[in-house]
Amino acid sequence: MFEKVFTIKDPIGIHARPAALLVNLIKSISGEVEIEKDGKVAKANSLLSIMGLGAKTGDEIIVRIKDGSEDDLNKIIAFLEENL
């Protein structure tokens, strides 16, 4: 299992467009991906779960990948840095 902490920088926080793109990215990754915020865990292949976290600007999230590679985790973090 690999995980990294990411701080949301987007002024709107996690919103529908980047969350939908993130779900599409997650579907191309072999491992199970979770996103955690304040102890609440969301399956990253579910748009509603991601939106349900309510992550806003400045919030820290933990991106965790099980049964996947560190390269896959780095792809996700690169996407977040570019879009959130």
Instruction: Give me the active site residues, please.
Output: 15
Residue written as tokens 């779960």?
Answer: 49
First to last CA, the chain: 23
Beta partners for 41? Answer: 36
Two tokens, residue 20: 């939908």
Residue type at 72 in one-letter notation: D
Nearest-5° angle of CA 78, CA 20, CA 16?
Answer: 105
